[in-house]
C-alpha cells in the first residue's frame, strides 16, 4: 500500500488494475483538490472583477473568447503554452526528488545564447537548415542542463540549498547574456538593439503543419510525455521518487542519491535550455535581451500547479497560456490594467497551494494509521511527499 | 522579483536614412481599405512594452494615442506590457482579427524585427507604423512605416538650462545602455551644457537595462552624494529618479514625458516626445487615403519633440540662452556635432571643419562620450 499511495499522491499515475469504481474514486481523490482550487479561483476572481466594477460573466466570456473560443485564440494559447511546458519541467522533474528548482529562467536564457552561437557556427561551416537546427537544440539543451546540474551538484556534494542557488544562477545567466550580447558577441550591425549575428531566415524552424504554432509545441508536449514516462514508468523514475519520498530510506536501499540528483537536475535544465533554443530558432533568429521573458518563472508556477507531475504540466500550461492569451482582450475590452492577469494567476497559485495543504491534512487524518514517516526535509513540495 | 525585462531601445538605427527629405513617399499601393467613407470608424491599435502610466517612454506614446482618440472617425484600442516575443505578434493579430484594427502603432523599438515584419507580410491590408526609424525602402514590406525623432535637440536645450542652474557645476546623467541613441543624448546634453558653462561636467552612470528602478535610485543617490545638483536620465520610466531628486533637493530635467508633477520644486525643463502631432499627421494622410511617409524623422522644428515648460527656479538668463538655442533649432541653423570635437579620452572624433547634421549617418553609430563627460562606454 505504501508504494501505491505514493503513486496516488503523484497525480495521474492511474490505478490500471484496480476495479473501475475504486479507480474512479481514486482519480477523483487526485483531481478534486485542483478542481476545487480552480473553482475557488473562478469565484474569487469574479468577486474581484465585481469589486472593480466589471461584470464577471462578461469578463469570463471575453476570456474564453480570447483563449479557447476561436481557432485563432486557441492557436494563440498553444503558442504561449509551448515554452511553459519546457520551463515547467525544469522545476517539475527535480521536484520529484524533493528539490525546489527555480532556475528555468537562467537555463533558458543561456540555452538560447549558446544555441544562437551554435547555429551560427554550424551555418558558417556550410551546414543545411536541419543540421543547424539540430546543433542549436543540442547545444542549447546541454547548456541549460549543465547550468541546473551545477546547482544539483552543489546540492548533492556540498549541501548548498538548490532553491537559492538556482535563483541566483538566474541573475548570473542574465548578466552573462547581457555581457556577451553587448560585448564580445555583438553583431556590429545591431546598433541600438545589441544582438548576436542572426542565423538567417532559411535556418529558422517553422510552424507545425496546419497550425500557426511553431515546433516548440511538439517539443514541449513530447518532453512532458517522456518526462512522465521516465518518472512514473521506469526504475530510474522510481528511484528518483523514492529519494523525494524519503531520502534516508533511499540511501539505506543503496540508491546513488547524489548521482540521481545531478542527472535529474541536468534533465530539467535540458528542457529549459531547449525552450531557449526554440525561442531563438523559431522566433528571434538571434540572441538578445528579448530572451529574458519570464517564462522560467511562469514555469515554476506551472510546475507547482501541476504538482510536479510532467503529464499534468501539459493542461496546466494550456490554462496559463490561455490566461495570458486572453490578457490582451481584458485590457482592450474592459480597460483593465495588465496586472489583472497576474492577479488571476496569483489567486490560482495560492488556491492550489492551499488546497494541497487542506487535502494533505484531511488525507493524513483519514490514514493516520498508515503514515509513519514524516517529510524528511522542510522544503519538499506536498506532491512528492504524499 | 520578476522585474519586467525585455527592452526596447527607443531609437533610430536605419542606416539609410540620410535626409528627412529622403522620406520615402512611396505610394501605398498596398494601403487598402481604410474605411474611406467615414461611416465606419477606423480602428487603431497601440501596443506598449511597459505600463502606459510609467511617466516615461510608454506614457509619451499613450499621450499620443489619447490625442488620436479625440480625432473624429477613430477608435483606439490599447495594450500595455507586451513583451518583444511571439506575444506581440499575437497581440497584433488579435487586434486585427478580433478588434478589426486596420492601423497599428507597435511602439517599442524591438517590435520591428522580426515581429512587425512577419505580421506585415501576413496582413498586407493592415498598416504598421513603428517607432524607431528602421524602415529601409525595397527591403521592408510596403505596408510598414517607421518614425523617430531627434530628441537630442531637446536634450541640448535641457543641458543649457541645467548648466546655468547648477551651483556645483556637476551634472549627472543616468542612462540605460551605452548604445548610439543613448550616447547621442548624453553627448548633446553635455555639449549644450558646456556651450554656456565650460566648467560644467556630466557624470554618467549606466544601469545596464531599460527599467531598473532600484539601480536607478542607487545611481541617483551616488551622484548626489558626489555633489551633483542637477540630474537627467535616459531610462524607460524615470519616476523613481525624479522623485528621489526632489526629496534630496536637487534639480532634474526630464525625459520622454514630463516629470514635473513628480518634482514640482526641482523640475527645470525636459525633453519630451510630441507623438500626438506625429500620429495626427499620419492619420490625416491615411484617412484621406493619401500616401504617407514610410520613413519619418524630425526634431524640434518638425514638432516631433518639445520642451517641458520651464520650472519656477529657472533664471531669466537660463531661459534666454535656452530660448536662443531653441530658436536656432527651429530655424534649422543649429548643428550640434561639428569639429573639432574630442571624446573624453582626448581623441578627435570629428575633425575641424566637419559638420555632422542631424541626418548624418555617422551619428547613428556613435560610440564615444564627448569631452566633459565623466564615464566610460563600457
A152-197 residue pLDDT tens = 999 999 999 999 999 999 999 999 999 999 999 999 888 889 999 9
Verify that B132 and B175 share a domain, yes or no.
no
CA atoms within 13 A on the CB side of A153: 8
Look at A289 and B181 and tell me if their CB atoms are within 8 Å: no
- CATH number of the domain encompassing residue B102: 3.40.50.2300
Verify that B162 and B210 share a domain, yes or no.
yes
Does B9 fall in a domain?
A: no
A74 has a chain B CB within 8 A of its CB: no
Verify that B118 and B166 share a domain, yes or no.
no
- ipTM of this complex prediction, to 2 decimal places: 0.84
The per-residue pLDDT for range A1-10, each reduced to its tens digit, is: 333 344 334 4
Look at B95 and A332 and tell me if their CB atoms are within 8 Å: yes
Most B CBs within 10 Å: which of A70, A112, A332, as the mutation test of the B interface? A332
Ranges of H-type helices in chain A: 2-9, 20-51, 56-64, 71-95, 104-124, 129-158, 162-182, 216-233, 235-245, 247-252, 257-278, 295-305, 310-334, 339-366, 382-385
As a whole number of angstroms, the longest Cα–Cα distance in chain A is 69
B218 has a chain A CB within 8 A of its CB: no
Closest residue to B6, CB basis, from A70, A290, A328? A290
- Provide the chain B residues 119-158 that lie in CB contact (below 8 A) with chain A: 132
Rounded distance, CA A294 to CA A271, Å?
Answer: 15
Does B345 fall in a domain?
A: no
Using an 8 Å CB-CB cutoff, list chain A residues near B364: 191
Verify that B280 and B261 share a domain, yes or no.
no
Closest residue to B86, CB basis, from A192, A283, A294? A283
Verify that B260 and B292 share a domain, yes or no.
no
What letters, b where the CB count within 10 A reaches 16 and e where it falls short, cover A152-179? bbbbbeeeeebbebbbebbeebbeebbe
Verify that B186 and B317 share a domain, yes or no.
yes
DSSP 8-state assignment for residue A91: H
Nearest to B282 by CA among B93, B23, B98, B82: B23
B179 has a chain A CB within 8 A of its CB: yes
Band the pLDDT of B114: cuts 50, 70, 90: very high
Tell whether the model's pLDDT for residue A230 goes beyond 90. Answer: yes
Does B230 fall in a domain?
A: yes
Verify that B183 and B212 share a domain, yes or no.
yes
The per-residue pLDDT for range A58-95, each reduced to its tens digit, is: 999 999 999 999 999 999 999 999 999 999 999 999 99
Average pLDDT, chain A: 88
Tell whether the model's pLDDT for residue A281 goes beyond 90. Answer: yes
pLDDT mean over B352-374: 94
Q: Residue A364: what pLDDT?
A: 60
Verify that B292 and B321 share a domain, yes or no.
no
Does B10 fall in a domain?
A: no
Q: Dihedral of the CA atoms A103, A107, A108, A110 (nearest 10)?
A: 140
Verify that B196 and B316 share a domain, yes or no.
yes
Phi, psi (degrees; rounded to nearest 5) at B175: -125, 155
Does B347 fall in a domain?
A: no
Does B287 fall in a domain?
A: yes
Verify that B260 and B284 share a domain, yes or no.
no
Verify that B309 and B203 share a domain, yes or no.
yes
Verify that B210 and B280 share a domain, yes or no.
no
Helix-helix angle B57-69:B275-287, to 10 degrees:
40
Helix-helix angle A257-278:A216-233, to 10 degrees:
170
A102 has a chain B CB within 8 A of its CB: no
Rounded distance, CA B212 to CA B373, Å?
Answer: 22
- Sequence-distant (6+) residues with CB within 8 A of A30 are A8, A9, A11, A12
- DSSP letters along B316-341, please? HHHHHHHHHHHHHHHHT---SEESSE
Number of domains in chain A: 1
> What is the pTM for the complete model shown?
0.86
Residue A170 domain boundaries: 2-385
Look at B83 and A290 and tell me if their CB atoms are within 8 Å: yes
Does B46 fall in a domain?
A: yes
Number of domains in chain B: 2
DSSP 8-state assignment for residue A195: B
Rounded distance, CA B102 to CA B34, Å?
Answer: 7
Rounded distance, CA A88 to CA A299, Å?
Answer: 4
Residue B55 domain boundaries: 20-150+274-298
Does B76 fall in a domain?
A: yes
CA B352, B357, B360, B362 torsion-angle sign? positive
Average pLDDT, chain B: 89
Band the pLDDT of A96: cuts 50, 70, 90: very high
B360 has a chain A CB within 8 A of its CB: no
Q: Residue B21: what pLDDT?
A: 36
Helix H or strand E segment including B191: helix B180-196
B51 has a chain A CB within 8 A of its CB: yes
Chain B's closest residue to A194, CA to CA, is B179
Q: Is B208 left (phi over 0), alpha (psi -120 to 50) or beta?
A: left
- CATH number of the domain encompassing residue A135: 1.10.3470
Amino acid at each position: 500500500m505504501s508504494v501505491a499511495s505514493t503513486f496516488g499522491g503523484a497525480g495521474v499515475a492511474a490505478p490500471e488494475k484496480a476495479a473501475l469504481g475504486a479507480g474512479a474514486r481514486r482519480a477523483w481523490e487526485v483531481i478534486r483538490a485542483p478542481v476545487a482550487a480552480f473553482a475557488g479561483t473562478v469565484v474569487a476572481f469574479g468577486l474581484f472583477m465585481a469589486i472593480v466594477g466589471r461584470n464577471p460573466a462578461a469578463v469570463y466570456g471575453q476570456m474564453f473568447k480570447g483563449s479557447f473560443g476561436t481557432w485563432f485564440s486557441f492557436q494563440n494559447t498553444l503558442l504561449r503554452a509551448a515554452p511553459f511546458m519546457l520551463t515547467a519541467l525544469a522545476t517539475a522533474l527535480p521536484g520529484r526528488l524533493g528539490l525546489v528548482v527555480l532556475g528555468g529562467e537562467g537555463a533558458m536564457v543561456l540555452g538560447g545564447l549558446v544555441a544562437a552561437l551554435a547555429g551560427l557556427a554550424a551555418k558558417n561551416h556550410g551546414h543545411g537548415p536541419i543540421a543547424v537546427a539540430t546543433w542549436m537544440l543540442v547545444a542549447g539543451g546541454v547548456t541549460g542542463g549543465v547550468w541546473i546540474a551545477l546547482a544539483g551538484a552543489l546540492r548533492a556534494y556540498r549541501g548548498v540549498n538548490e532553491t537559492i542557488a538556482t535563483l541566483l544562477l538566474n541573475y548570473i545567466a542574465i548578466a552573462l547574456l547581457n555581457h556577451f550580447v553587448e560585448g564580445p558577441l555583438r553583431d556590429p550591425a545591431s546598433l541600438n538593439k545589441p544582438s548576436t549575428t542572426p542565423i538567417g531566415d532559411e535556418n529558422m524552424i517553422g510552424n507545425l503543419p496546419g497550425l500557426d504554432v511553431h515546433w516548440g509545441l511538439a517539443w514541449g508536449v513530447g518532453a512532458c510525455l517522456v518526462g512522465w514516462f521516465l518518472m512514473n514508468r521506469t526504475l530510474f523514475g522510481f528511484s528518483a521518487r523514492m529519494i523525494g519520498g524519503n531520502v534516508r530510506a533511499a540511501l539505506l536501499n543503496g540508491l546513488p542519491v547524489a548521482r540521481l540528483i545531478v542527472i535529474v537536475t541536468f534533465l530539467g535544465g535540458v528542457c529549459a535550455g531547449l525552450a531557449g533554443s526554440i525561442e531563438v530558432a523559431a522566433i528571434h533568429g538571434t540572441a538578445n535581451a528579448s530572451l529574458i521573458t519570464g517564462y522560467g518563472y511562469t514555469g515554476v508556477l506551472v510546475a507547482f500547479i501541476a504538482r510536479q507531475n510532467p503529464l499534468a504540466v501539459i493542461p496546466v500550461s494550456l490554462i496559463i497560456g490561455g490566461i495570458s492569451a486572453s490578457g490582451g482582450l481584458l485590457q482592450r475590452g474592459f480597460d483593465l490594467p495588465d496586472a489583472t492577469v497576474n492577479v488571476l494567476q496569483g489567486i490560482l497559485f495560492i488556491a492550489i497551494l492551499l488546497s494541497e495543504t487542506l487535502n494533505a491534512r484531511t488525507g493524513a487524518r483519514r490514514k493516520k494509521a498508515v503514515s509513519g514517516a514524516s517529510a524528511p526535509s522542510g522544503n519538499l513540495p506536498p506532491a512528492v511527499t504524499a | 522579483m520578476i522585474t519586467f525585462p525585455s527592452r526596447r531601445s527607443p531609437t533610430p538605427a536605419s542606416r539609410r536614412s540620410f535626409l528627412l527629405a529622403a522620406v520615402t513617399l512611396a505610394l501605398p499601393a498596398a494601403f487598402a481599405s481604410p474605411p474611406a467613407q467615414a461611416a465606419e470608424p477606423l480602428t487603431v491599435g497601440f501596443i506598449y512594452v511597459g505600463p502606459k502610466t510609467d511617466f516615461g517612454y510608454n506614457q509619451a506614446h499613450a499621450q499620443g494615442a489619447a490625442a488620436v482618440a479625440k480625432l473624429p472617425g477613430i477608435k483606439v484600442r490599447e495594450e500595455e506590457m507586451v513583451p518583444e516575443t511571439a506575444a506581440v505578434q499575437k497581440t497584433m493579430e488579435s487586434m486585427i482579427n478580433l478588434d478589426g484594427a486596420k492601423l497599428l502603432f507597435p511602439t517599442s523599438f524591438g517590435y520591428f524585427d522580426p515581429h512587425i515584419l512577419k505580421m506585415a507580410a501576413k496582413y498586407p491590408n493592415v498598416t504598421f507604423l513603428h517607432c524607431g526609424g528602421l524602415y529601409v525602402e525595397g527591403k521592408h514590406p510596403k505596408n510598414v512605416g517607421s518614425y523617430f525623432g531627434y530628441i537630442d535637440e531637446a536634450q541640448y536645450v535641457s543641458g543649457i538650462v541645467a548648466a546655468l542652474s547648477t551651483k556645483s557645476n556637476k551634472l549627472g546623467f543616468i542612462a540605460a545602455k551605452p548604445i548610439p541613441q543613448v550616447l547621442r543624448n548624453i553627448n548633446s546634453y553635455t555639449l549644450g551644457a558646456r556651450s554656456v558653462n565650460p566648467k560644467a561636467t556630466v557624470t554618467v552612470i549606466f544601469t545596464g537595462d531599460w527599467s531598473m528602478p532600484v539601480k536607478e535610485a542607487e545611481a541617483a543617490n551616488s551622484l548626489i552624494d558626489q555633489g551633483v545638483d542637477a540630474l537627467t536620465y535616459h531610462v524607460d520610466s524615470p519616476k523613481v529618479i525624479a522623485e528621489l531628486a526632489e526629496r534630496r533637493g536637487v534639480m532634474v530635467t526630464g525625459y520622454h514625458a514630463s516629470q514635473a508633477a513628480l518634482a514640482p520644486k526641482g523640475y527645470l525643463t525636459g525633453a519630451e516626445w510630441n507623438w500626438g502631432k506625429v500620429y495626427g499627421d499620419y492619420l490625416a494622410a491615411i484617412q484621406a487615403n493619401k500616401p504617407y511617409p514610410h520613413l519619418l524623422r524630425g526634431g524640434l522644428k518638425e514638432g516631433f519633440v518639445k520642451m517641458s515648460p520651464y520650472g519656477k527656479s529657472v533664471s531669466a538668463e537660463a531661459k534666454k540662452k535656452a530660448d536662443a538655442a531653441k530658436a536656432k533649432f527651429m530655424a534649422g541653423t543649429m548643428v550640434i556635432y561639428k569639429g573639432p570635437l574630442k571624446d573624453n579620452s582626448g581623441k578627435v572624433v570629428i575633425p575641424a571643419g566637419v559638420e555632422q547634421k542631424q541626418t548624418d549617418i555617422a551619428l547613428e553609430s556613435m560610440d564615444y562620450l564627448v569631452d566633459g563627460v565623466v564615464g566610460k562606454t563600457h
